[in-house]
């Protein structure tokens, strides 16, 4: 069992938990993920690591309440425990293996969308601790949905915010900010890392391609079992079939077939809707017959 040491609501429906997991914390690196189960009957949920502290033996995860299983995880309170917390899994971010001197000669641009801001934070934090320059763009629908703003401001060289409704920062998309930085302000970046909704990452990659700006994206949202056994996270990268959980979760954004990835992401929508309906029936004390009646 993995005790929840702290729990906090960052924004409506977005929960941060700091979990006691010493072995995971001791081995974790930026870009990796964990598999979480709320209880012995719970679904395996892959979550990108949002922070880790080897000395404290804790790992931070951020969960958005979307389906039945994520709601079950978020319903747990401080002092309670998760049944499973397996990891770290997946490949660390590519820059982790880069020689320090080479790394310090580069300048990074991170683009974070929605809950994807959480896994961007440990990457920027890791680079900041090694003296590497990194600017960050955070995008959200509205000011109330922004997360990790103060934390990111403490580790980024410059922080830019874009909201759909203009309630904070620039009114518009993160791609508008990218174009403004590169074309109007003349900023130069060696690498871009984008983590967020699939459609956001697709358009970030389309925006950076004409600049010849290397762009890495995280396809964590495609994963199901996290081991490569189920095959649900197959994605085409550079014309080759890759498995997000074992070959990634980070890939070259200019080589990812995003249209295929988004189709695959929607494959389980019907099953999730059915699971929500069953959970609602049970909560109301009814015997659910969804899928049983002909």
Distance between CA atoms of residues 176 and 170, nearest Å: 9
Torsion of CA 123, 109, 115, 121, to 10 degrees: 30
Q: Which run of H or of E encompasses 127?
A: helix 117-129
User: Is 285 contained in some domain?
Assistant: no
Residue 50 and residue 111 share a domain: no
Question: 228 pLDDT exceeds 60?
Answer: yes
Domain boundary among 42, 67, 89: 89
Q: Which has the higher per-residue pLDDT, 277 or 131?
A: 131
Distance between CA atoms of residues 201 and 222, nearest Å: 13
Tell me the backbone φ, ψ of residue 291, rounded to 5 degrees: 90, -10
At residue 280, the pLDDT reads: 47
pLDDT band at 60 (very low <50, low <70, confident <90, very high): very high
> What CATH number has the domain bearing residue 137?
3.40.50.80
Give Cβ neighbours of residue 193 (< 8 Å, ≥ 6 apart): 93, 108, 109, 110, 111, 120, 123, 215, 216, 217, 218, 250
Q: Which residue range(s) make up the domain with 81?
A: 2-89
As given in the structure block, the two tokens for residue 100 are 């320090």
User: Is 230 contained in some domain?
Assistant: no
User: Is 13 contained in some domain?
Assistant: yes
> What CATH number has the domain bearing residue 52?
2.40.30.10
Mean pLDDT of the chain: 87
At residue 210, the pLDDT reads: 95
At residue 245, the pLDDT reads: 79
Please compute the mean of the pLDDT values over residues 77-98 and round it to a whole number: 92
Sign of CA dihedral 115, 116, 117, 121: positive
pTM for the full model? Answer: 0.85
Tell me the backbone φ, ψ of residue 230, rounded to 5 degrees: -80, -25
**Widest distance between CA atoms in the chain:** 66
Please compute the mean of the pLDDT values over residues 27-32 and round it to a whole number: 94
């Amino acid at each position: 069992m993995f005790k929840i040491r702290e729990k906090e609501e960052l924004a409506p429906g977005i929960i941060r938990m700091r979990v006691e997991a010493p072995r995971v914390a001791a081995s974790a690196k930026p870009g990796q993920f964990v598999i979480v189960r709320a209880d012995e009957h719970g679904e395996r949920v892959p979550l990108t690591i949002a922070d880790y502290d080897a000395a404290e033996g804790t790992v931070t995860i951020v969960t958005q309440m979307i389906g039945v299983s994520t709601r079950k995880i978020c319903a747990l309170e401080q002092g309670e425990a998760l049944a499973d917390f397996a990891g770290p899994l997946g490949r660390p971010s590519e820059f982790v293996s880069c020689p320090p001197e080479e790394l310090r000669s580069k300048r990074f641009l991170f683009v974070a969308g929605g809950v994807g801001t959480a896994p961007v934070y440990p990457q920027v934090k890791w680079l900041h601790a090694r003296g590497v320059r990194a600017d960050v763009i955070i995008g959200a629908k509205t000011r109330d949905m922004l997360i990790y703003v103060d934390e990111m401001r403490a580790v980024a060289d410059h922080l830019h915010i874009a909201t759909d409704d203009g309630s904070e920062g620039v009114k518009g998309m993160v791609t508008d900010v990218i174009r403004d930085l590169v074309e109007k302000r003349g900023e130069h970046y060696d690498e871009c890392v984008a983590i967020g909704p699939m459609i956001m990452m697709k358009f970030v990659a389309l925006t950076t391609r004409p600049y010849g700006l290397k762009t890495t994206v995280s396809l964590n949202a495609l994963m199901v079992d996290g081991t490569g056994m189920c095959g649900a996270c197959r994605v085409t990268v550079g014309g080759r079939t890759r498995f997000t959980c074992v070959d990634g979760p980070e890939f070259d954004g200019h080589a990812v077939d995003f249209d295929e990835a988004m189709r695959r992401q929607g494959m389980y929508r019907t099953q999730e809707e059915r699971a929500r309906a069953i959970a609602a029936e049970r909560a109301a004390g009814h015997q659910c017959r969804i899928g049983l009646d002909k």
